[in-house]
Structure 1
Amino acid sequence: MTLYTFFGCLLTAYGPILSIFFLFIAKNAQHVLLTVASIAIQELFRWLYFLLMQRAEPGLNMVTKYPRSPFNRIIFAFVAGYGYALTTSLVSYVPILVESLGPGILMVPSFPAASTFFDAAVTTSFFSLLHMAWMVIAFDGFAAKKWVGSLKIGWVLASHLGASYSTLLNTSTIPFGCIYAMVIQIVFLLISVAIIVASLAKKR
């Protein structure tokens, strides 16, 4: 493989997450610290992380630019989700990206026209965005009362499971399996974004 493939896959996998970092998170030291802190905690500890943030929220609000903003919790959840996304994307894709510098190429079994390197780059990109969306929805669900919160938490768990299992289509013998996997991930992402937008609209 050539350097063109390496940098193409690199930017495909990490373009969205790097753009978010430099355009939004890097401008605020508080957001950077929250990102780094969240890297140590993974999916099973999402609820515990929410409880921690709930206790820290009054202090964080004191030093934030808009202490009384109803969107502070969502911003905190977003940058924490960024930390999760950064961790998983680095762990899952860097070894594959390094392999792309080698002399050979491995094609996707379900879609021989695409290389495994590019398929993994697209999957990494989608999962990075999904992790941020899941964290925002989960925090909102944990804070909400009654059945609405339970539905949001249920959506996070179900869509996380569904998106993860969809990656099995990449190595299957089903024709266009990796395309189906990407479509599933895009659908989960769009629904998650719609849930977040609806939640933001209610906070206005």
Structure 2
Amino acid sequence: MTAPVFFGCALISFGPALALFLLIIARDPLRIIFLVAGAFVWLVSLLLSSLVWFIVVRISDRDSSSQQKSLLIFGVVLSVFLQEAFRLGFYKLLKKANDGLLALSQEETTPISMRQLAYGTRCQCVSGLGFGFMSGAFSVINILAGSFGPGTVGIHGDSQHYFISSAFMTMAITLLHMFWGVVFFEACERRSWSGVAAVVISHLLVSCLTFLNPQYEGSLMPAFIMMFLMGCWKRT
């Protein structure tokens, strides 16, 4: 039974994002470059937040449970702000690279707009999808490894929905990163700071929802509601 759980949860986690990649991104080399670049930028933000976390934990009192809980909250908030700061840096990098990327375009007479740089002309998702792939991979890879067995979920009285709930949360976060990328880049381009604030605040809220585990209904439903709202976000 462990193999079906593994493959089922893996497909739930990455199925929609993988479908978007195969249908829209894989045929365009330029979009693949942006996807890989976005994934690399997210990895750099993770490296920096991990370094700060390592230093803070080293100098903290490990016997104080309240301090360790506060450090956990601090780590989540720091990670969110660093991810959004690097998203902003990625936007500025693409903005500066506009002239250089013009040489790679097949349309030599038509300038590449910021929208094309960020997420292509047919689907507004590439810049954030790289973030989402890496974020989802790091959040669920150890869980998937454990689901491959041996063992039975919930045998010691724990929740039987742990793996599938984690898979759905990973799917939500992966798609949220795609929507966050679209809203963030569009807001920066139009200098709409309400859009930037909406991305940062919603990212913080969804990340803090993980503190509600193992009350999975308390974290999954708000996360999917947030995903729906960000997917329906209208530029202002």
Q: 1:40 aligns to what?
A: 40
SS at match of 2:20: helix
Where in structure 2 are the equivalents of 1:180-199 lying within 5 Å? 180-195=218-233, 198-199=234-235
1:67-107 Cα offsets, whole Å, 9 max, x none, are: 45764245257212111111111111111101001122444
1:119 aligns with 2:165: yes
Give the distance between the partners of 2:231 and 2:203, measured in 1 at CA.
Answer: 14
Structure 2 length-normalised TM: 0.71
Q: In structure 2, what residue type is equivalent to 1:49?
A: F
Give the distance between the partners of 2:178 and 2:130, measured in 1 at CA.
Answer: 8
Give the distance between the partners of 1:25 and 1:181, measured in 2 at CA.
Answer: 30
Give the distance between the partners of 1:15 and 1:60, measured in 2 at CA.
Answer: 31
SS at match of 1:52: helix
SS at match of 1:40: helix
For the 8 Å contact 1:61–1:72, the answer to whether it is kept is no
1:130 to 151, 166, 176: 176
When structure 1 is superposed on structure 2, of 43-52 and 98-107 the one drifting more is 98-107
Q: In structure 2, what residue type is equivalent to 1:9?
A: C
Give the distance between the partners of 1:58 and 1:179, measured in 2 at CA.
Answer: 48
For the 8 Å contact 2:39–2:131, the answer to whether it is kept is yes
Where in structure 2 are the equivalents of 1:54-93 lying within 5 Å? 54-61=95-102, 63-64=104-105, 67=110, 71-76=115-120, 78-93=125-140
Change (3 A) 1:74 1:35: closer
SS at match of 1:126: helix
Q: How far did 1:189 drift?
A: 1.1
For the 8 Å contact 1:89–1:128, the answer to whether it is kept is yes
Output the aligned Cα RMSD.
2.2
Any runs of at least 4 consecutive aligned residues in structure 1 with deviations exceeding 2 A, and if so which?
57-71, 103-107
Q: 2:14 aligns to what?
A: 14
Identical residues among aligned pairs (%): 27
Unpaired runs of 5+ residues, structure 2, are 43-82
Max radius of gyration: which structure?
A: 2
Q: In structure 2, what residue type is equivalent to 1:161?
A: L
Give the distance between the partners of 2:106 and 2:200, measured in 1 at CA.
Answer: 33
1:151 aligns with 2:194: yes
Give the distance between the partners of 2:198 and 2:102, measured in 1 at CA.
Answer: 28
Give the distance between the partners of 1:103 and 1:115, measured in 2 at CA.
Answer: 17
Unpaired runs of 5+ residues, structure 1, are 172-176
SS at match of 1:41: helix
For the 8 Å contact 1:137–1:152, the answer to whether it is kept is yes
Q: How far did 1:61 drift?
A: 4.6
Q: How far did 1:127 drift?
A: 0.4
Length, aligned pairs only: 186
Q: 1:97 aligns to what?
A: 144
Give the distance between the partners of 2:207 and 2:12, measured in 1 at CA.
Answer: 19
